[in-house]
Amino acid sequence: MSDEARKLGRLIADSDSVVVLTGAGISVPSGIPDFRTPGTGIWEKVNPMEVAHIDSFRRDPALFWSFYRERLNALSDIAPNRAHEVLVEMERDGLIRAVITQNIDTLHERAGQQEVIEVHGSIRTSSCSACGAKVLLQDLEDRFDEQGVASCPLCLSALRPDVVLFGEMLPPDEMLHATQLAAAADLLVCVGSSLEVHPVAGLPEITLAAGGKVGIVTQGPTPYDEVAEVVCSGDVVAELEAALAAAET
């Protein structure tokens, strides 16, 4: 067990209100590539402004779905990993209050996490851009037409996944909840996030301004490394398992 993981575990055990913020790095052990790692990141292969922007969906839904259809099908077959399970155990043991996630993969919920705030939406459903009808992920593949566009079962307009696209605001209720949790946290533990995508990247600053502490578990630098109470830069599963063991001793 590293000294950093041991320190993080003690911080978690000694704090009254611990909130966890997760990014793409926590899902990498499940087989989901992150977005920005050189050579393997999702945005290394495609231009997000062309395939994941709200204007792309409106302008060319077939091009938009050529990316998202493959991505959603891949995500539907992915299972939670041990890092997700550790956070579930921490919640059950009363060590953490909630998980705020930037991820759309629903893996926290599928692992058994009870309090999850999905600030970037999720792949759970897709919605009609015209009438608002919703289609569950497991039914989505049946909705694709000959042009490769998912269409509404009621009015045949184009469906879109219920995730936050580039060019869109984050859902206000979820973001307000996340902000309130960060402000009330004695400790905000940031797991698998580069903390570069705003406004979510501003949550650690909110915790710090309110007198709380920040812990980081991620590979690669973040803007908060110098002000964090502890930085764990090893494998996310190993670091979280070690932190849990230290918190329970």
User: Which CATH number covers residue 130?
Assistant: 3.30.1600.10
Band of residue 231 on the pLDDT scale cut at 50, 70, 90: very high
pLDDT digits (tens, 9 = 90+) for 10-51: 999 999 999 999 999 999 999 887 555 555 445 445 565 667
Point out the domain boundary residue: 110, 135, 163.
163
- The token pair at 223 is 């803007």
Q: Are residues 239 and 143 in the same domain?
A: no
Residues taking part in catalysis:
120
Q: Which residues, including other chains, have CB under 8 Å from residue 211's CB and lie 6 or more apart? A: none
In tens, the pLDDT along 94-117 reads 999 999 999 999 999 999 999 999
> 97 with 177, same domain?
yes
* Interval 237-247 mean pLDDT: 97
What is the spatial distance between Cα 3 and Cα 242, in angstroms, rounded to a whole number?
10
Q: Which residue reads 């990247």 in tokens?
A: 201
Closest CA to 121 of 185, 64, 52, 74: 52
Assess whether the previous peptide bond of 172 is cis (omega < 30° from 0): no
- What gap in Å lies between CA 168 and CA 1, rounded to an integer? 42
Residue 127: how many other CB atoms lie within 10 Å: 15
Please give the tally of structural domains in the chain.
2
What burial letters (b/e) apply to 134-160, b meaning 16+ CB within 10 Å? ebebeebeebeeeeebbbbeeeebbbb
Count the neighbouring beta carbons within 10 Å of the beta carbon of residue 229: 16
Residue numbers of the domain that contains 41? 33-77+122-163
Does 137 share its domain with 249? no
Q: Within this chain, do residues 106 and 178 fall inside the same structural domain, yes or no?
A: yes
Query: Looking at residue 197, what is its pLDDT?
Result: 86
Task: List all residues 6 or more positions away from 205 whose beta carbon is below 8 Å from its beta carbon.
Answer: none
CATH number at residue 186: 3.40.50.1220
Structure token digits, residue 26: 């926590």
Phi (first) and psi of residue 188, to 5 degrees: -110, 115
Say whether both 130 and 27 belong to one domain: no
pLDDT on residue 153? 95
Encode pLDDT of 153-206 as tens digits.
999 999 999 999 989 999 999 999 999 999 999 999 999 999 998 899 999 999
Whether residues 247 and 212 share a domain: the answer is yes
- Give the pLDDT confidence score for residue 71 in this predicted structure: 84
Q: Show which of 108, 143, 163 is a domain's final residue.
A: 163
Give the DSSP letter of residue 94.
Answer: T
Of 132, 163, 194, the domain-final residue: 163
198 and 240 within one domain: yes
Answer yes or no: do 45 and 114 share one domain: no
pLDDT score, position 249 = 84
Looking at the fold, whether 181 and 225 belong to one and the same domain comes out as yes
Alpha-carbon distance of 136 to 121, in angstroms, equals: 14
140, 103: one domain: no
Quick count: other Cβ atoms within 10 Å of Cβ 169? 8
| 116 and 128, same domain (yes or no) | no
3-class secondary structure, 21: strand
Q: Residue 223: is its pLDDT beyond 80? A: yes
3 and 47 housed in the same domain: no
- pTM to 2 decimal places: 0.92
